[in-house]
Structure 1
């Protein structure tokens, strides 16, 4: 990971000092580096975990993720990211969007070094990521289950890139075809669970814990798993909460009231239980990985995603 950090710092440099500053902004703010970590961990299932392609792939997925954050914050009008000012808040939307584009282009340059198959995988991943983002803005169709629609959105916008992280690690680490398939499925499930954990944290945590403005999705009217589960309630005691969830929550007082009611609603525990179940399903995919330290770490990774508090 230390080598990945060093490489990333070089990849965000531009011949223009301002571009370097903007592109380094969110990376310097920190982050969990979940995607490159998973690349490195998955590579340990193969015969070549130290292959240079593993490090390059780890940088590809993190640069892609960083790029998407710049665009996400513009869409969400978010003021905070990782405890620091978002790029759009520090500069403006134009700078944030173009910086995201710059980082996407840098990830594409690196992917080309990995060969045609990696380029194809990256392109397919990017297609799914963008489709997921667009689907999130589209109203649920008649007769469509809102929760199923949302889970499909999450699989695209988050699960796809984390699946590719595990897949890249297995491929460039020299794992067998069976392990490559299993880890891709594992990554998809873990990736979706990671986003769903974010949904829960967006409601349950304050900005000190999460580094983000709490209830951002709620304020913007973006549906998340706890909200959708709460909206399915038929309990008369939830009348006020349901009214708020259908209201304009740009008002600070209404937003705070909705957050307070959601935090104590049974939907929060149902959402947590669902995520824990997803982690268990992900671990089942690891049966083809020989028992030992690597498999134990992958299982622990899934559990951490499901139970994290920040």
Structure 2
């Protein structure tokens, strides 16, 4: 029962209600993923074993495995209360291992001191250890992917390329100093959306593609599920960027203005700068923000129409995600997937 409680915590309440109303089991898949994560990263080298489990044990929403489990109900090979679809469990484990690997690497790039309420691997040990741990998780994900066949492996290889392209583009567009000979990219709206598509939406798209593919959905439906996933990924990242500005630390658990300090121009910032007639916000963002300047920048952003415009933009992705589900008719899981997409915007007001 303890494992089932952990799985339920990963499911937003509006989605959980939809699942329970139609008797769709996902907890069994999520519980199996949790167990698989533990066994898949096991190493005979005690220190490697400790490192690989470090962020797994720190918790997390397991959002990507949830999407594999949900879209796994779109096809004829959907799991039941009596039977688990092992391919779905493996696919969900793969996407979570890849996600975790990128977190180890992201913390090195961002020089982050903490992750999920605990010291980051790079701050507890060092950058080399964190990078190698991420590489180890990529390797373990690749091993599991090979067991599911060429197509699953090809999909993840292309996803990893998109993730890397998105991360490199973000580095090129940041306000910080770039290494020699790295060309700078203007942080435009188009650039921002390209970064989000690569860094965030691509893996969520793949999660939904895996769920549909491995539950026996036909090719058209697999593409529809992938389209749904990409749009949900875009909506969730936009809502995270809104929360970075709009929320209080007590409400979200996140420190407001983190992206501002790191020189990342997110959607609300880009919108606010288009109406920054006095130029005050631009001047603040062009410098290294101290606490007083950060508070003023947040005040300017919250007082503009940028947050509402960003919410509307996120809402357009939610609408596109819901439209993509129409090919599945009135299948019971469509309600849960719809509520999950809507949750992306509902959580930011």
TM-score range, shorter chain: over 0.9
Deviation, structure 1 residue 206:
3.9
- Secondary structure of 2:90 counterpart: helix
* TM-score, scaled relative to structure 2: 0.83
Q: How does 1:16-35 map to 2 (within 5 A)?
A: 16-35=45-64
Q: Summarize the Cα distance change of 1:246–1:271 in structure 2 as closer, same or farther, 3 Å threshold.
A: same
Paired with 1:232 and 1:226, the residues of 2 have a C-alpha distance of 10
Moved more, 124-133 or 208-217: 208-217
Paired with 2:243 and 2:130, the residues of 1 have a C-alpha distance of 25
Q: Summarize the Cα distance change of 1:98–1:297 in structure 2 as closer, same or farther, 3 Å threshold.
A: same
Unaligned runs of at least 5 residues, structure 2: 1-29, 80-84, 175-182
Q: Report whether the alignment pairs 1:88 with 2:125.
A: no
Paired with 1:216 and 1:104, the residues of 2 have a C-alpha distance of 27
Contact 1:45 1:173 in 2 (8 A): yes
Q: How does 1:276-287 map to 2 (within 5 A)?
A: 276-287=315-326
Give the aligned partner of residue 181 of structure 1.
223
Deviation, structure 1 residue 207:
4.0
Superposed CA deviations along residues 236-266 of structure 1, whole A, max 9, x for unmatched, are 3xx32221122222x3332233233323332
Moved more, 206-215 or 162-171: 206-215
* TM-score, scaled relative to structure 1: 0.93
- Which of 320, 323, 327 is 1:288 aligned to? 327
Deviation, structure 1 residue 12:
2.2
Q: Summarize the Cα distance change of 1:304–1:253 in structure 2 as closer, same or farther, 3 Å threshold.
A: same
Moved more, 132-141 or 95-104: 132-141
Give the aligned partner of residue 95 of structure 2.
61
Paired with 1:22 and 1:309, the residues of 2 have a C-alpha distance of 34
- Secondary structure of 2:172 counterpart: coil
Deviation, structure 1 residue 21:
1.9
Deviation, structure 1 residue 309:
5.2
- Which of 284, 306, 309 is 1:244 aligned to? 284
Give the aligned partner of residue 149 of structure 1.
191
Paired with 1:136 and 1:143, the residues of 2 have a C-alpha distance of 9
- Which of 106, 110, 123 is 2:140 aligned to? 106
Deviation, structure 1 residue 124:
0.4
Deviation, structure 1 residue 307:
2.4
Contact 2:68 2:208 in 1 (8 A): yes
Contact 2:88 2:214 in 1 (8 A): yes
Deviation, structure 1 residue 215:
2.1
Moved more, 136-145 or 294-303: 136-145
Contact 1:78 1:216 in 2 (8 A): no
Deviation, structure 1 residue 78:
1.7
Paired with 2:196 and 2:69, the residues of 1 have a C-alpha distance of 23
Give the aligned partner of residue 336 of structure 2.
297
Superposed CA deviations along residues 82-103 of structure 1, whole A, max 9, x for unmatched, are 2222222222222211111111
Paired with 1:218 and 1:11, the residues of 2 have a C-alpha distance of 37
Paired with 2:164 and 2:152, the residues of 1 have a C-alpha distance of 18
Q: Summarize the Cα distance change of 1:81–1:193 in structure 2 as closer, same or farther, 3 Å threshold.
A: same
Paired with 2:188 and 2:50, the residues of 1 have a C-alpha distance of 40
- Secondary structure of 1:138 counterpart: helix
Stretches of 4+ aligned residues off by more than 6 angstroms: 140-145
Superposed CA deviations along residues 64-93 of structure 1, whole A, max 9, x for unmatched, are 001101111111122222222222222222
